[in-house]
Amino acid sequence: METKIKSRSIWMLLIGMFAFCFLAISYASVMAPLSPFETREGRKLPTPSGRGRILSADGRVLAATLVKDAGTFAQKETRVYPNGDMAGQLLGVMGASEGLEGLEHDYQDHLAAGQDLTLTIDTHLQAVTEAELQKKALEERAEYAAAIVMETRTGRLLAVASWPPSNPGKWKETPMRNRRNRAFIDRFEPGSVIKSLTVAAALDDGIIKPDQVLDTPMARYVGKRWGSTIRDSVAHGPRLTIQNVLRYSSNVGISHIVEPYTNEKFRARLSQFGIGTAPELPVVTASNGILRPIERWDTLVRTTNGFGQGMSTTLLQMAVAYNVLGNHGVYLPPRLNAADPVGTGRRVVRSETARTVREMLRMTIELGIPHRALLEGYDLGGKTGTAQFATAGGYSSEIYESTYAGFYPSTNPEITIAIMAHGARGEYHGADLAAPVYREIVASYASSRGHRPDPGLEAEQRVIQMDRNEGKYRDGTVDRAPMPSREELLKTTRAQGSAP
């Protein structure tokens, strides 16, 4: 009996030892580290995502995915942005496996399918635009700013800049407000840049004529019982031509121009320029500007909308609207994806009307702000804007929107430029902040394209400046300086020793 018990005990001990060894070996096999290429039951080796790159129009890589230890369990993917913060807000933010903001988000399906995305962005012009915007925004202590450069004949967006900068590769370290693509998203009251569109519409509709002279006191009451007194901020004579309504940025002059319009007609005219309508930019996230519903319009609203208050726009919409004037009166949708065809254009004003307004805007620079926006020998044209910031409690007396919109060259534009800055604590007027940015962008563009100054135009500009300095234009009755005679131009050209 004892022998049987002892034998059974030995067998049980052996079985227990065997079970223990089996469990220990199994545990060790589970816990032991695998080589990168070993697999466990039910687990597959990862493969690279193959996410597409984002490229510029000139072939530079703006975003790409780097893969380390591809095809192993140690595989790690990193989305990299070789140009640092260039176009950072436009490119957006990449999460662990998908885009969270900007183009990384908007083109998620396209990029995730392994397809590259080529943009219309010109990296040289993008870098220049960002640098000039930053320089002036820092100098005038702006809170934020944005700029857009658009190819006039195609709608291609050559530069889209927002400031302060944002490096998408370090997005977790960047405040959300700096990651905002303000050029496409932010709404603001544009102010006096809208006056050019008002003048263009009224000229085209036969409401005014280019040589018309208006009574323009420094203040005028508009509306009836619920009206208000509108005022001009730049001193001028009691009568202004249409040219000088733009030069002196006269709200009173604009009030006369919009007076014959019905509310419905004028609102429709602004909409035709793209103001208050959804931007025709497929896929990309962009905001609408706002025009009040027609049932909320009255004489005062119509008047203030005529000079860019009581409404809102985005910088993208402002660029597209001014591009109508640059593109000989034809609206073109903006393009950012290089694969998209040129959009279908639609006429907003006659080519002659657009040309007349561009000439007025050229003289607005040469007679109004030559020290801020003139490039001698080059053909520039545009309009400033300075608008009080609208708050829930009314208009701020301390915060301003500084804007500028224009084109180059003004006779036959190649590019359209729009600039805005918010909350500058230094010089906040559009002429002081935004216009110099426009000038420097044009200077760089002209240099990169090999454009040389025109000696004949340079001579004409000097005559205009002499007349301006002598006060010839202060009474507001002259639209433009007389052209110097051919003999004077030839004499000047020979003295300079350059060929026309």
pLDDT at residue 491 is higher than 60: no
CA neighbor of 205 nearest in space, from 252, 258, 254, 271:
258
pLDDT of residue 225: 82
d(CA 341, CA 156): 10
The rounded distance, in Å, linking the Cα atoms of 453 and 377 is 4
Digit-coded pLDDT (tens) for 91-101: 999 998 899 99
Mean pLDDT of 423-440: 96
Residue 221 confidence class, pLDDT cut points 50, 70, 90: very high
**To 5 degrees, how large is the angle CA 40–CA 69–CA 92?**
115
In this prediction, residue 483 carries a pLDDT of 42
Q: Are 377 and 453 in contact (CB under 8 A)?
A: yes
Question: For residue 18, is pLDDT > 90?
Answer: no
| Weakest-pLDDT range from 61-65, 137-141, 154-158, 472-476 | 472-476
Locate 195 and state its tokens: 């006056």
Encode pLDDT of 472-488 as tens digits. 766 544 434 344 454 55
- Better-predicted residue by pLDDT, 460 or 475: 460
Domains in the chain, ordered, with CATH?
A: 54-118 (3.90.1310.10), 144-162+181-450 (3.40.710.10), 454-500 (no CATH)
**pLDDT given at position 279:** 87
Model pLDDT, residue 498? 35
- What does the mean pLDDT of the chain come to? 88
Q: What is the pLDDT of residue 478?
A: 43
CB 54 within 8 A of CB 117: yes
pLDDT for the residue 336: 98
Query: What is the pLDDT at residue 33?
Result: 53
